[in-house]
């Protein structure tokens, strides 16, 4: 069992000592001028005041980390801060007061948007009145983008939740998705050598609320989350040979799944039409790609090559394309083919080794790990425009970086890295900036970002 696992891991993660010049490509997923937003600290009355530090820091962090806004520096804010729409009034004698729109749109703040609000406790609940204003408008009525009342329990957790919801509504008003509510499944390794076990864990998008999902006391890895966020598929050795397991993320229960007769079935992904694609030796060696219904019935073979084909990922936008990893041209590379296995073409140029492909939600870009480019021989994260075959290197000079997975908002990537000395989970913006570490205890890898 462990020999099979070691062979699979070596194939997927092996590095090669090769170097090639990176193509001149620019990822425009989050580039361009961002609107500037001013997010002054809000105040509260009575018992709610004790939770405003949590609320204010959470709201600012959510908007700052969204990769949507440029944050106006708080040092430039006026002294007087409006708390509600009725606080706005034109300046007297042209003096800047902080209580008019141009106090925020003009220098030194130069913001386009301003958050306004106040909190209070009501029947032992944390209640926020929150507004968003476009301060470039000439009057308050036209400037108010939206206003909403938010409720949660009167606690730090409640204040944090309200801040998340307010930030999500601000992003939604501007046509962007928030990471709020999304989850990251990942693998935590315990022990070493022959006593090593791996279990699937899950956490919030920001690293909060970590909890263990599987308790097999075996090796479980390679999680995948369904598009609707209700199912988790993964590989486990709990029954001997590596097989696929299916779990309900709503109840935590193991769901029935009919594995094919094979020495190994692994590396699952969900398709748009309610099927599972995966790697298996169901047709004998070498490993090939298959699909089945969510319960494992209706097995269909997708690839029929003489090489090892692994890591299938279905285009989430079209459902008609699959990227995968294959050794059919030599060292493992990223390939693209139709969902039926037709017209397979190589995306990477054949240098180094490439693995771990992940589709962007818009179905045009793929993130993956590659030993090409800066720091050759060590895996780094790249993003490729599939149509143009242009790639951009996102990580460099910071250890081994692998297993990228796109966030549902399309502006963030989660990945694993040993840059801190042990393998941990990190997130970054789609341009490789704003790297944040989410895990620190134990060894953690193979992240999969779900809805």
Confidence of residue 94 (pLDDT cuts 50, 70, 90): low
Nearest to 130 by CA among 59, 50, 217: 59
- Cα torsion 61, 62, 66, 68: sign: negative
The model's pTM is 0.90
Please determine, for residue 54, whether its predicted confidence score (pLDDT) is greater than 50. Answer: yes
Confidence of residue 191 (pLDDT cuts 50, 70, 90): confident
pLDDT at 29: 64
The tokens for 320 are: 């008609």
pLDDT in tens, 332-341: 999 999 999 9
Q: Which residues have C-beta within 8 Å of that of residue 139, sequence separation ≥ 6? A: 101
Confidence of residue 30 (pLDDT cuts 50, 70, 90): low
pLDDT at 379: 97
Confidence of residue 303 (pLDDT cuts 50, 70, 90): very high
The tokens for 65 are: 């980390």
- DSSP labels for 182-202? -EEEEEEEES-GGG-EEEEEE
pLDDT in tens, 370-404: 999 888 889 999 999 999 999 999 999 999 999 99
Q: Which residues have C-beta within 8 Å of that of residue 24, sequence separation ≥ 6? A: 390
CB 286 within 8 A of CB 306: yes
List the beta bridge partners of residue 369.
355, 381
Rg (CA), the chain: 25
Q: Are strands 43-44 and 113-121 parallel, antiparallel or unpaired?
A: parallel
Residue with tokens 């951009």: 392
The tokens for 230 are: 């209700």
pLDDT in tens, 209-264: 999 999 999 999 999 999 999 999 999 999 999 999 999 999 999 999 999 999 99
Strand, coil or helix: 114: strand
CB 377 within 8 A of CB 13: no
- Edge-to-edge order in the sheet of strand 401-406: 401-406, 412-417, 424-429, 436-437
Residue with tokens 């294959």: 326
pLDDT at 206: 96
- Cα torsion 158, 160, 164, 167: sign: positive
Strand, coil or helix: 305: coil
Share of the chain above pLDDT 70, in %: 93
Nearest to 436 by CA among 47, 61, 15: 61
pLDDT in tens, 110-131: 999 999 999 999 999 999 999 9
CB 220 within 8 A of CB 201: no
pLDDT in tens, 58-71: 999 999 999 999 99
List the beta bridge partners of residue 282.
284
Q: What are phi and psi of 317, to 5 degrees?
A: -90, -45
Nearest to 146 by CA among 85, 78, 104: 85
Strand, coil or helix: 43: strand
Q: What is the location of CATH 2.120.10.30 in the chain?
A: 2-30+180-450
Give the chain's end-to-end CA distance (angstroms, integer).
Answer: 33
pLDDT at 307: 96
Q: Which residues have C-beta within 8 Å of that of residue 72, sequence separation ≥ 6? A: 36, 37, 38, 39, 109, 110, 111
Q: What is the location of CATH 3.40.50.10070 in the chain?
A: 36-173
pLDDT at 96: 74
Please determine, for residue 197, whether its predicted confidence score (pLDDT) is greater than 70. Answer: yes
Q: What's the whole-number average pLDDT of the chain?
A: 92
List the beta bridge partners of residue 255.
246
Question: How large is the average pLDDT for residues 40-53?
Answer: 96
Residue with tokens 């969204």: 66
pLDDT in tens, 14-25: 322 222 223 333
H and E: helices and strands count for the chain: 5, 30
Separation CA 390–CA 250 (nearest Å)? 39
Separation CA 316–CA 360 (nearest Å)? 8
Confidence of residue 8 (pLDDT cuts 50, 70, 90): very low
Length of the chain in residues, anyone?
451
CB 76 within 8 A of CB 101: no
The tokens for 210 are: 């970590």
CATH class (in words) of the domain with range 36-173: alpha beta
Provide the CATH topology of domain 2-30+180-450.
Neuraminidase (2.120.10)
Question: How large is the average pLDDT for residues 175-204?
Answer: 93
Please determine, for residue 13, whether its predicted confidence score (pLDDT) is greater than 70. Answer: no
Confidence of residue 91 (pLDDT cuts 50, 70, 90): confident
Burial class (CB in 10 A: 0-12, 13-18, 19+), 380: buried
């Amino acid at each position: 069992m462990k020999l099979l696992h070691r062979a699979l891991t070596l194939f997927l993660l092996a590095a090669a000592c090769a170097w090639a010049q990176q193509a001149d490509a620019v990822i425009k997923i989050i580039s361009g001028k961002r609107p500037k937003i001013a997010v002054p600290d809000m105040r509260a009355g009575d018992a709610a005041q004790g939770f405003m530090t949590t609320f204010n820091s959470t709201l600012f962090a959510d908007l700052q980390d969204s990769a949507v806004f440029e944050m106006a520096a708080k040092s430039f804010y006026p002294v007087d801060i409006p708390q509600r729409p009725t606080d706005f009034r034109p300046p007297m004698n042209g003096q800047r007061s902080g209580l008019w729109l141009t106090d925020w749109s003009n220098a030194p703040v130069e913001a386009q948007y301003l958050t306004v609000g106040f909190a209070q406790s009501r029947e032992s609940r944390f209640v926020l009145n929150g507004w968003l204003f476009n301060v470039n408008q000439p009057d308050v009525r036209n400037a108010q983008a939206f206003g909403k009342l938010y409720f949660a329990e009167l606690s730090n957790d409640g204040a944090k939740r309200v801040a998340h919801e307010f930030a999500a509504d601000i992003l939604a008003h501007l046509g962007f998705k928030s990471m709020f509510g999304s989850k990251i499944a990942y693998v935590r390794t315990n022990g070493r050598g022959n006593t090593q076990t791996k279990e699937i864990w899950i956490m919030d998008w920001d690293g909060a609320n970590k909890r263990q999902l599987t308790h097999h006391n075996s090796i479980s890895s390679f999680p995948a989350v369904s598009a609707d966020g209700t199912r988790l598929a993964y590989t486990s050795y709990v029954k001997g040979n590596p097989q696929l397991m299916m779990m309900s993320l709503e109840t935590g229960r193991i769901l029935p799944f009919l594995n094919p007769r094979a020495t190994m079935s692994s590396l699952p992904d969900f398709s748009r039409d309610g099927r599972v694609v995966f790697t298996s030796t169901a047709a004998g060696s070498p490993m090939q790609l298959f699909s089945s219904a969510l319960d494992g019935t209706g097995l269909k073979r997708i690839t029929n090559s003489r090489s090892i084909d692994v890591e299938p990922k279905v285009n989430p936008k079209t459902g008609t394309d699959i990227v995968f990893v294959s050794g059919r041209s030599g060292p493992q590379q990223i390939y693209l083919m139709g969902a039926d296995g037709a017209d397979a073409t190589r995306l990477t140029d054949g240098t180094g080794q490439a693995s771990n492909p992940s589709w962007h939600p818009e179905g045009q870009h793929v993130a993956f790990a590659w030993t090409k480019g800066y720091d050759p021989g060590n895996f780094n994260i790249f993003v490729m425009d599939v149509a143009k075959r242009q790639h951009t290197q996102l990580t460099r000079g910071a250890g081994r970086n692998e297993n990228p997975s796109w966030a549902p908002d399309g502006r963030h990537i989660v990945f694993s890295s040993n840059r801190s000395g042990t393998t941990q989970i990190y997130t970054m913006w789609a341009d490789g900036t704003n790297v944040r570490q989410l895990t620190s205890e134990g060894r953690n890898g193979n992240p999969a970002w779900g809805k």
